[in-house]
A and B are shown apart, each in its own frame.
Chain A
Amino acid sequence: MTETLTRPPVDTPPPPRQPTKRRRRAVAEEPGKPWMIHIPLVLYLLFTLIPFYWMLVFAVRPSGSTQLVPWPISFEHFDTVWNDIGFGVFFYNSVVMGLGVLVFVTILSVMGGYALARFKFRGQRVFLLAMLCSQFIPGAMMLIPLFVIFKGLGLLNSLTGLIIAEVAFQLPLSLILMSGFIRNISVELEEAAMVDGCSRLRAFFAVVLPQLKPALVAVGSFAFIGAWNQFLFALMFATRQDKFTLPVGLSYTLGEFNTDFGALAAGGVVAAVPVVLVFAVVQRFLVQGLSAGAVKG
């Protein structure tokens, strides 16, 4: 995919008498001056991290304390949100929803992406166009008709319903991304396997799937994070507290003036830790995967 880009620079040994100054000029990119990188980077890091730190501090210091570096750490707020407010249940619901969406989005986008990348079929352009257009549909604006449909199908207050709706909304973009990834995998190996007597399915599992691993990680984690963060559908379609997901539960602890800040912060930490961890692990794949060609379309 990117082999051509990482070709090592042609290195000719410098003639011994050449001054080092000239040699440096030939190097493609001299590093920027340190202050040009470090000062803005540190400023931006502060902007990013202070809000996270503020939440963490509120979560682990006892009510009424205003210490900036809380010690000893107290877990009373976590106890409150997890057991009394019900974040234990919300957390479970969010995990189920996140994993459900991850599994279905990944499988369906591999299937559809493979169809788009490896076949030419009637209606292909219309299908692709419809999926691109679906990106312009405002989720907030689908609340009303979806509510009616969900009521008709008996899917209100069920995690299954939430999973299905979220999969339907995430699928188009994931499918397009996935077809880009699959197109980047060379057809020749697959064809060779089929000439050797593999069925298309076996050729797919033996040749394509192993090369698709970074794409699966990227699309799957996208799906998980999106589902974990879904708010409006969950707010509208889950009205019973035992079906709340974390964002919905969290939204009930909000309010600028009459809020238990400790509980809000502890709930926030519970909601943040899984996605931020997942993201920290996969962000490298995300950049690599997008760089491998999907953005260029």
Chain B
Amino acid sequence: MRTRTWAPYALIAPTLVLMAVFLVYPIGSVVYYSLQRYNVTQPWKNGWAGLDNFKQMLFDDPLFWQSLAFSAKWVFIEVGLQLLLGLVLALIVNETFIGRGMARALVFSPWAVSGVLTTGIWILLLNPSTGIFQQLSQWGIGSPGTSVLGNPDTVFDALVVTELWRGVPFFAILLLADLQSIPKDLYEAASVDGASRWRRFTSVTLPHLKDAIILSTLLRAVWEFNNVDLIYTLTGGGPANQTTTLPLYVARQAVDSHNFGYGSALTVAGFLILLFFSIAYLRLSKFGSRA
């Protein structure tokens, strides 16, 4: 089977072309633009800028640091809570009970919903005049007219819960798949040895899930870092840039201000941060070595 032939190259050729044009070349040009003054609305100023964009970013742009800090907080909280709830959910729907297939389909379903649609649904749910809080206050719970999205004290919590609604199924699906690949005899052996339910979880289930957990948290951390749809449409980064992540900041530079040079410098920074984070994470977690 494994002979020298042109066949594998022919098979990956279309993929290579697509990746070259739409991934490799753009990355190269982002690096190039980051060294330029490049603003579509002020073309007469365009030209070589050297490291000016990066200097401005590091020393002269509080919003860069603020958005970076918010990104870190956002990723940490979202991934942590999604993993925890996703694991619990996976364990629950891995049990045997009546209606399990239906329950799985229902609790996983928000995974298929887009960020924009999630925003739409939660704006309806949280709106102050006809939303869930208004309804609850009619039943005597809470106070009427609560606008959780307009209030700087509650907007972050609302954002976190909204993203959890859509994000938990991702972990639940991946972890459920991995739970099902655990050989049953391991549990049988543990039971025969008199291991309690909790003991079986910590010494059979968790070690088996380790690699899946490392990989899914890393993928999800990158994904949540890059996630723009939901925040862009739900809060737009507000109020007062409170919920602006780094990619959202970039997207606004691109879509609203058309400042491509500075936006590219921010992009390069974001890419490097993600790369270092990923390498460090895989190293520290000893991915691939079974405990």
Answer yes or no: are A and B bound together in one complex.
yes
Report A's interface with B, CB cutoff 8 A: 2, 4-5, 9, 25-26, 28-29, 31-32, 34, 37-38, 40-41, 44-45, 47-52, 54-55, 58, 66, 68, 108, 111-112, 114-116, 118-121, 124, 127, 130-131, 134-149, 164-165, 167-169, 171-172, 175, 187, 191, 200, 225, 228-232, 235-236, 247-248, 250-251, 253-257, 259, 261, 264-265, 267-268, 271-272, 275-276, 278-280, 283-284, 286-293, 295-297
In chain B, positions 1-58 with a C-beta closer than 8 Å to chain A are: 1-2, 4-5, 7-9, 11-12, 14-16, 18-19, 21-23, 25-27, 29-30, 33
In chain B, positions 81-97 with a C-beta closer than 8 Å to chain A are: 88-89, 92-93, 95-97
Q: Tell me if B124 and A47 are in contact (CB < 8 A).
A: no
In chain B, positions 244-261 with a C-beta closer than 8 Å to chain A are: 247-248, 250-251, 254-255, 260
Q: What are 13 A-B contacts defined by CB distance under 8 Å? A: A5-B180, A31-B96, A54-B125, A127-B12, A168-B19, A191-B1, A200-B7, A228-B114, A229-B115, A256-B149, A259-B127, A268-B120, A295-B178
CB distance from B15 to the nearest CB of A (A): 5
User: Cβ of B75 < 8 Å from any Cβ of A?
Assistant: no
Of B18, B93, B109, B251, the contact of A48 (CB 8 Å cutoff): B109
Given the complex of chains A and B, what is the CA–CA distance between A82 and B173 in angstroms?
A: 34
Which chain B residue has the least Cβ–Cβ distance from A249? B116
Q: Tell me if B1 and A118 are in contact (CB < 8 A).
A: yes
Q: Tell me if B150 and A247 are in contact (CB < 8 A).
A: no
Q: Tell me if B95 and A115 are in contact (CB < 8 A).
A: no
Output the residue of B211, B219, B228 with the most chain A CB within 10 A: B228
Chain A residues near B121 (CB-CB < 8 A): 51-52, 54-55, 268
Chain B residues near A29 (CB-CB < 8 A): 187, 191
User: Cβ of B233 < 8 Å from any Cβ of A?
Assistant: yes
Which chain B residue has the least Cβ–Cβ distance from A231? B229
Q: Tell me if A144 and B33 are in contact (CB < 8 A).
A: yes
Q: Tell me if B124 and A264 are in contact (CB < 8 A).
A: yes
CB distance from A112 to the nearest CB of B (A): 5
User: Cβ of B278 < 8 Å from any Cβ of A?
Assistant: yes
Q: Tell me if B215 and A295 are in contact (CB < 8 A).
A: yes
Task: Kindly list 16 other residue pairs between chains A and B, CB separation below 8 angstroms, not including A119-B1, A200-B7, A256-B150.
Answer: A4-B183, A5-B181, A29-B187, A29-B191, A32-B95, A41-B93, A58-B130, A131-B19, A136-B271, A137-B271, A145-B25, A165-B22, A247-B116, A283-B108, A289-B177, A291-B176
CB distance from B133 to the nearest CB of A (A): 12
Q: Tell me if A143 and B251 are in contact (CB < 8 A).
A: yes
User: Cβ of B72 < 8 Å from any Cβ of A?
Assistant: no
Chain A residues near B250 (CB-CB < 8 A): 138, 140-141, 143-144
Q: Tell me if B110 and A284 are in contact (CB < 8 A).
A: no
Q: A37-B97, A165-B22 are in contact. Are A256 and B127 (CB under 8 A)?
A: yes
Given the complex of chains A and B, what is the CA–CA distance between A135 and B274 in angstroms?
A: 10
Q: Tell me if B247 and A140 are in contact (CB < 8 A).
A: yes
Q: How large is the interface on B (under 10, 10 to 19, 20 to 34, 35 or more residues)?
A: 35 or more
Q: Tell me if A261 and B108 are in contact (CB < 8 A).
A: no
Binding site secondary structure of chain A: helix
Which chain A residue has the least Cβ–Cβ distance from B229? A231
Q: Tell me if A167 and B271 are in contact (CB < 8 A).
A: no
Q: Tell me if B248 and A50 are in contact (CB < 8 A).
A: no
Q: Tell me if B9 and A254 are in contact (CB < 8 A).
A: no
Which chain B residue has the least Cβ–Cβ distance from A221? B112
Q: Tell me if B89 and A112 are in contact (CB < 8 A).
A: no
Chain B residues near A142 (CB-CB < 8 A): 23, 26-27, 30, 267
Of A47, A131, A146, A295, the contact of B26 (CB 8 Å cutoff): A146
Q: Tell me if B33 and A45 are in contact (CB < 8 A).
A: no
Q: A112-B15, A141-B250 are in contact. Are A168 and B106 (CB under 8 A)?
A: no
CB distance from B159 to the nearest CB of A (A): 13
Given the complex of chains A and B, what is the CA–CA distance between A51 and B251 in angstroms?
A: 28
Of B23, B124, B131, B225, the contact of A134 (CB 8 Å cutoff): B23
Q: A38-B97, A146-B26 are in contact. Are A256 and B125 (CB under 8 A)?
A: no
Given the complex of chains A and B, what is the CA–CA distance between A54 and B117 in angstroms?
A: 13
Given the complex of chains A and B, what is the CA–CA distance between A284 and B102 in angstroms?
A: 10
Q: Tell me if A66 and B183 are in contact (CB < 8 A).
A: no
Q: Tell me if A172 and B19 are in contact (CB < 8 A).
A: yes
User: Cβ of B243 < 8 Å from any Cβ of A?
Assistant: no
Chain B residues near A114 (CB-CB < 8 A): 11
In the complex, the 6 A-B pairs of residues with the closest C-beta atoms, listed nearest first: A229-B114, A290-B177, A145-B26, A168-B22, A279-B112, A115-B11
CB distance from B158 to the nearest CB of A (A): 11
Output the residue of B18, B114, B233, B260 with the most chain A CB within 10 A: B114
Which chain B residue has the least Cβ–Cβ distance from A234? B116
Q: Tell me if B191 and A278 are in contact (CB < 8 A).
A: no
Q: A51-B165, A119-B8 are in contact. Are A108 and B14 (CB under 8 A)?
A: yes
Given the complex of chains A and B, what is the CA–CA distance between A143 and B27 in angstroms?
A: 11
Chain B residues near A168 (CB-CB < 8 A): 18-19, 21-23
Given the complex of chains A and B, what is the CA–CA distance between A121 and B19 in angstroms?
A: 19
Chain A residues near B106 (CB-CB < 8 A): 45, 48-49
Q: A38-B97, A256-B127 are in contact. Are A5 and B184 (CB under 8 A)?
A: yes
